[in-house]
Amino acid sequence: MARVLVVDDEVGVQESLRMLLKPECDVVTAGRVEDALRALTDTPPDLILLDLVMPGRSGLDLLAELKERGYPAPVVILTATKTIATAVEAMKSGAADYVTKPFEVDALRIKVRQLLERRALEEEVARLRDAVDGRQRLGRLVGRSEAMQRVFRSAERVAQSEATVLVMGESGTGKELLANAIHTLGPRAAQPFVAINCGAIPHNLIESELFGAERGAYTGAQETRIGRFEAAHTGTLFLDEIGELEQSVQVKLLRALQERTIERLGSTQPIEVDVRVIAATNRDLEQEVAEGRFRQDLFYRINVVPLTLPPLRDRREDVRLLTETFLARHQPASGERLRVSPAALAALDRYSWPGNVRELENAIEHGAALCEAGVIELENLPQGMVRTGRGEAIEEEWRSGEIGLEEAVQRFETSLLREALEREGWNQTRAAARLGITRRLLKLKMDRSGLTPPRPDEG
């Protein structure tokens, strides 16, 4: 069902529109621009009905912000007869249409339906174009899943603007790659892309890293050095893990973003900087704000256009495409084509990927270093994946008819025995306790399965 956001400070208008559109739309309401911006972040609507005159910031302010963000949903202005001229001006600024209050019920319903149908058609055309083009990459990001395609489309739109972007996602999802892609697609592509990991620099050095320092500003400052803001002048500054900044630095960062000037450590001379800022975090910054660890005003300053990269476990259809990409990247010097065995591929498909795409690339690099004859086998993968994959590989072979039930049961039992022994350093007493059997029975099963402790030189 299509989602419509009604932004109007009159509760009566909100409820009237909710009842009018309820049979065909999921209606969300907001009485102020700030409430509307939160609703946009939570679940983007397909259409916005926007009143022009509200307490505080006006509908025109929200329209300007939507335009800056490159927001795609059409906007219909709700206006009184005396403000039609302002509504027409709003259409010149990007609104799709306007209706006058009190509105004619059937006409409004038809207008909403037409705009929603047009938006659905535009999205379908974009989706089909992506499918025809076979687009699976944005910069160095890779993905054919619908979740990644949505990220690609949003990134391409926002790249053409100057809006500040907040990239959210777990560690290893590719936040810096997305930031770099936005920079490369935008008007500042020929200018510097400067990245800084705010969590990797000691707290006593982060201020000088960001803003620079004059000679003698602190012990060891032998010469004047420029910070990342100056280095990124006319280009893009990527603030990775921005949630790690201490509040004292947050205050100075907010000032730099608002005034577009910085002061080097040890100086009071303002320096103008022209940078586009892209920030990233793996934290829930709204929760951090609620708990007093992150400044609310800074959060609103950087959260102009939020983009979220999904974890790999939520886009498993991309695992094989990513695997092929990393196989090509880590080809051996001999030029021999690197491949992954069916058992190893099944383990990769079903693994939970807590470390996301970064963990997958590390797994392929690990396998490439250990494999023989150019084929990454299950045993060449990191141990956590091997343990996960053993039982799954046996199940896969049984389902395909390659092995019978008796052999599947025997191999699965052997897999459990091996895992318990490996976890306990091949101490049979502890392994038996882990398995819930006697040491004597464990020894009998080890002999039957041919399991022997590794020789000292095998580690």
Residues of the chain with CATH 1.10.8.60: 314-458
- The identity of residue 291, as a single letter, is E
Instruction: Provide the pLDDT for residue 284.
Output: 94
Q: How many residues are recorded in the chain?
A: 459
Instruction: Provide the pLDDT for residue 42.
Output: 67
3-state secondary structure of 101: strand
Residue 104 burial class via C-beta count within 10 angstroms: exposed 0-12, middle 13-18, buried 19 and up: exposed
Neighbour order of strands in the sheet with 276-281: 193-197, 236-240, 276-281, 165-168, 305-308
User: Could you tell me the pTM of the whole model?
Assistant: 0.65
Going by C-alpha positions, the residue among 395, 397, 362, 396 that lies closest to residue 381 is 362
Residue 84 has which token pair?
């039609």
Going by C-alpha positions, the residue among 444, 347, 448, 453 that lies closest to residue 394 is 347
8 Å CB contact between 60 and 79: no
8 Å CB contact between 126 and 153: yes
Instruction: Provide the pLDDT for residue 189.
Output: 92
Long-range CB contacts for residues 338-343, cutoff 8 Å, separation at least 24: 338/368, 338/371, 338/374, 338/376, 339/374, 339/375, 339/376, 340/364, 340/367, 340/375, 340/376, 341/375, 341/376, 341/377, 341/378, 342/396, 343/377, 343/378, 343/389, 343/393, 343/396, 343/397
CATH class, domain 314-458, is mainly alpha
- The identity of residue 221, as a single letter, is A
ω before 102 within 30° of 0 (cis)?
Answer: yes
3-state secondary structure of 391: helix
d(CA 227, CA 117): 50
* 249 Cβ neighbours under 8 A, 6+ residues apart: 203, 206, 207, 210
d(CA 162, CA 196): 20
d(CA 285, CA 332): 42
Going by C-alpha positions, the residue among 311, 314, 317 that lies closest to residue 357 is 311
Q: What is the distance of C-alpha 394 from the center of its chain?
A: 34
Fold of 145-308: Rossmann fold (3.40.50)
Residues of the chain with CATH 3.40.50.300: 145-308
281 phi and psi, to 5 degrees?
A: -155, 150
Going by C-alpha positions, the residue among 384, 341, 338 that lies closest to residue 360 is 384
Q: Do the strands 165-168 and 141-142 form a parallel or antiparallel pair, or are they unpaired?
A: unpaired
d(CA 317, CA 349): 8
Fold of 2-129: Rossmann fold (3.40.50)
Going by C-alpha positions, the residue among 159, 13, 4, 162 that lies closest to residue 96 is 4
DSSP letter, residue 5? E
Instruction: Report the helix count and the strand count for the chain, using DSSP H and E.
Output: 19, 16
Residue 202 has which token pair?
């000691």
In tens digits, the chain (459 residues) has pLDDT values of: 889 999 999 999 999 999 999 888 999 999 999 888 888 876 778 999 999 888 888 888 888 888 777 777 889 988 876 667 777 777 877 888 888 888 888 888 888 988 988 888 777 766 665 554 556 888 899 998 999 999 999 999 999 899 999 999 999 999 999 999 999 999 999 999 999 999 999 988 899 999 998 877 666 666 888 899 999 999 999 999 999 999 999 999 999 999 999 999 888 899 999 999 999 999 999 999 999 999 999 999 999 999 999 999 999 999 999 999 999 888 876 667 899 988 888 889 888 899 999 999 999 999 999 898 889 988 899 877 776 555 666 666 677 777 788 887 887 788 788 878 878 888 999 999 989 999 999 999 898 888 888 765 544
Q: What is the distance of C-alpha 155 from the center of its chain?
A: 11
Residues of the chain with CATH 3.40.50.2300: 2-129
